[in-house]
Amino acid sequence: MKAAQLSALVLALASLAPPVQVMAAQASQPQAAINGYQPAWWKEAVVYQVYPRSFKDSNGDGIGDLPGITSKLDYLQQLGVDVIWLSPHYDSPNADNGYDIRDYRKVMAEFGTMADFDTMLAAIKQRHMRLIIDLVVNHTSDEHHWFVESRKSKANPYRDFYFWRDGRPGPDGKLLPPNNDPSFFSGSAWQFDPATNQYYLHYFAVKQPDLNWDNPKVREEVYSLMRFWLDKGVDGFRMDVIPLISKNPAFPDLTPEQLSNIGDAYANGPHMHEYLQEMNRNVMAKYDVMTVGEALGISLAQTPLMVDDRRHELNTIFNFDAIRFNRDGIKLKPLDLPGFKAIYTRHAEGLDKHSWDTVFLSNHDNPRVVSTFGDDSPEFRVPSAKLLETMLLTLRGTPFLYQGDELGMTNYPFRSIEDFDDIEVKNYYKANVLTGRIAEAAYLEDMRHTSRDNSRTPMQWDASANGGFTTATKPWLAENPNYAQINAAEEVADPHSIYNYTRSVIAFRHDHPAFIYGDYQDIDPGNTSVFAYTRTLGPERYLVVLNFESKPLTYTLPGGITAGSLMLANLPTKEQNTGSLHLAGWEARIYKLR
Ligand code: TEU
Ligand code: CA
């Protein structure tokens, strides 16, 4: 039976029975708590993020697509991941690579058809994995039907789907935006529209107007499109900048302090929690799904208000305290290990058994993890990449891995502004380099370390042209020239590779619930070179030791702790049942504690 027929059959069968998630939602009697936690599949899952434009091109146009993803699902199943998070796959003019949606019920033409989506979803489920998709509803594309209508006239029924305000007279009589809100992508967050002589709000790009969630019609439209995808069998959502959905309709000017951190200023509006609870009642409560909010502007202290399972809002969120820890604006700064480690202790103390956490150090908005938190030099790229995967897979919370990290993919050697695709880089360049505010060389140097495009270079599948990502001569964004050395074919074939090591740590996590529901304890918070912590679930106690230095060191375990039997290590060692560990540069070990 050909694949297409089989998938059609699987889907037909699935459509007969209420979607699995519905049955599960109806059927799911609360399981017995484990260490005070209510067990859930999304707490036990390892999530893998796919950036579809850069994952695999199947039709030679240089752009990744859905059939390309389907063709690599065995690779992901073999890695052992449980859930795939798919960055936006919807119809979009790609002003911000899909995070500007024109039609929520249509697959982006470059990525394929709805049939390709259904085939991919069926193929994911056949491999006992799940799929969560990206819900981008703080804003739409300015080419979305709602906005095309809204901008036509003040009386248009869609006018109130967005935020329209009059400008205010400037000193020289010139019209100024309604207030001083800046956009995340440089410039004002307000765009004047001569059609109706008013400004509309866009926290991100000019082509990403913000939706007015205070309009109940907008919220119902959102809940309806969510049901559309859940009824297809999708297992949940990653929700884009969800804390920004409620605005202060008076739009007062921001204070200087607020201007220094607009994420915090724009988040947590007056009705945010009310709308998330309404969304949960109307949608999530009716399905067995996972929701993770991208929580720009939400502090650790505010996190339980969004994720405490007794509040019925979201299952979990992404806090940005760790992934942006060694950042100073667009500059990368050295990693202060004790400060970095303190984040995880604060999370362990700040999030109780009702507030589940996530663990991540990379995604499509940040540079490559090994280049940012490890050491991507030829000598230490492999051990440091393995150490970081060990950390991500043994800390408390659901781990999110980003495509290519399992290969140790590195940042890209951008040479000039032409090498970049990202609107955030191009807008900043226009606003600050072309105006002479900052020097081009300095900006390019910073972007080589922190630009989002570092993680958007195409996946490196093998050593053939363009890393086997595409048969086209030129991919949409250049392949990292190190693909001949760093690629999946090499990694899968090499038992000692980062890929196979990550696979073994994922399997280890699956087999040891202490690393899921166990308590977390940093045993040496002040140590400036070593990150050492325990995970404890009843009698099961484990120790993780990570040397964040390139130089070898002898580490004496504090408090007379003795490392018991060695469970896993990223470098060859037989050392166990001792309190003194001889660690090589970037060495990572997991011990069972007696
Ligand atoms: O990102 C929001 C976000 O955190 C980043 O845009 C960040 O503010 C920016 O990179 C500053 O450095 C989400 C998506 O993940 C991102 O890809 C989109 O560009 C953005 O929202 C708008 O949808
Ligand atoms: Ca393609």
DSSP string, 117-161: HHHHHHHHHHTT-EEEEEE--SB--TTSHHHHHHTT-TTSTTGGG
d(CA 88, CA 108): 9
Q: Is 184 in the pocket of ligand 1 (CB under 6 A)?
A: yes
- The per-residue pLDDT for 182 is 98
Ligand 1 mutation pick, 365, 372, 447, 449, max ligand atoms within 8 A of CB:
365
Q: Which residue has the tokens 């990449």?
A: 385
Q: Is 205 in the pocket of ligand 1 (CB under 6 A)?
A: no
Q: Which atom of ligand 1 is nearest to the CA of 203?
A: 22
The protein residue whose alpha carbon is closest to atom 5 in ligand 1 is 365
d(CA 130, CA 15): 17
Ligand approaching nearest to the C-alpha of 364: 1
Q: Which atom of ligand 1 is nearest to the CA of 136?
A: 23
Q: Which atom of ligand 1 is nearest to the CA of 330?
A: 12
What's the 294 CA to ligand 1 centre distance in angstroms? 9
Do 506 and 79 meet the contact criterion of CB atoms below 8 Å apart?
A: yes
Q: Is 425 in the pocket of ligand 1 (CB under 6 A)?
A: no
What's the 132 CA to ligand 2 centre distance in angstroms? 21
Q: Is 241 in the pocket of ligand 1 (CB under 6 A)?
A: yes
CA atoms within 13 A on the CB side of 574: 0
Q: Is 424 in the pocket of ligand 1 (CB under 6 A)?
A: yes
What's the 366 CA to ligand 1 centre distance in angstroms? 9
Ligand 1 mutation pick, 241, 363, 372, 454, max ligand atoms within 8 A of CB:
241
Do 315 and 292 meet the contact criterion of CB atoms below 8 Å apart?
A: yes
Within a 10 A sphere around the Cβ of 9, how many other Cβ atoms? 12
Ligand approaching nearest to the C-alpha of 471: 2
Ligand 1 mutation pick, 50, 96, 184, max ligand atoms within 8 A of CB:
184
Give the pLDDT confidence of 260-313 residue by residue, as tens digits. Answer: 999 999 999 999 999 999 999 999 999 999 999 999 999 999 999 999 999 999
Give the pLDDT confidence of 489-545 residue by residue, as tens digits. Answer: 999 999 999 999 999 999 999 999 999 999 999 999 999 999 999 999 999 999 999
d(CA 254, CA 237): 31
Pairing relation of β-strands 358-359 and 398-402?
parallel
Q: Is 204 in the pocket of ligand 1 (CB under 6 A)?
A: yes
Catalytic residues: 240, 294
Q: Which residue has the tokens 């990202």?
A: 422
CA geometry: angle 504, 505, 509, nearest 5 deg: 120
Q: Which atom of ligand 1 is nearest to the CA of 363?
A: 15
d(CA 478, CA 453): 10
Q: What pTM did the predictor assign?
A: 0.95
Secondary structure class of 477 (helix, strand, coil): coil
What's the 402 CA to ligand 1 centre distance in angstroms? 16
Ligand 1 mutation pick, 240, 242, 292, 422, max ligand atoms within 8 A of CB:
240
The protein residue whose alpha carbon is closest to atom 11 in ligand 1 is 184
The protein residue whose alpha carbon is closest to atom 10 in ligand 1 is 365
- The per-residue pLDDT for 31 is 86
The CA distances from residue 40 to 20, 31, 274, 391, 538, in Å, are 15, 9, 25, 22, 19
Over the chain (594 residues), what is each successive 10-residue block's mean pLDDT? Answer: 50 47 53 96 98 98 98 98 98 98 98 98 98 98 98 98 97 93 98 98 98 98 98 98 98 98 97 98 98 98 98 98 97 98 98 98 98 98 98 98 98 98 98 98 98 98 98 98 98 98 98 98 98 98 98 97 98 97 98 93
Q: Which atom of ligand 1 is nearest to the CA of 99?
A: 23
The DSSP letter of residue 478 is P
Q: Is 422 in the pocket of ligand 1 (CB under 6 A)?
A: no
Residues of 127-137 as b/e, b for ≥16 C-beta within 10 angstroms? Answer: eebbbbbbbbb
What's the 412 CA to ligand 1 centre distance in angstroms? 20
Q: Is 240 in the pocket of ligand 1 (CB under 6 A)?
A: yes
What's the 184 CA to ligand 1 centre distance in angstroms? 8
Ligand approaching nearest to the C-alpha of 242: 1
CA atoms within 13 A on the CB side of 16: 5
What's the 462 CA to ligand 2 centre distance in angstroms? 17
Do 451 and 422 meet the contact criterion of CB atoms below 8 Å apart?
A: yes
H or E element at residue 67: helix 66-70
H or E element at residue 514: helix 514-517
d(CA 582, CA 552): 7
Helices and strands counted in the chain (H then E): 20, 24
- The residues, any chain, with a CB within 8 Å of residue 16's CB and separated by 6 or more, are none
What's the 492 CA to ligand 1 centre distance in angstroms? 32
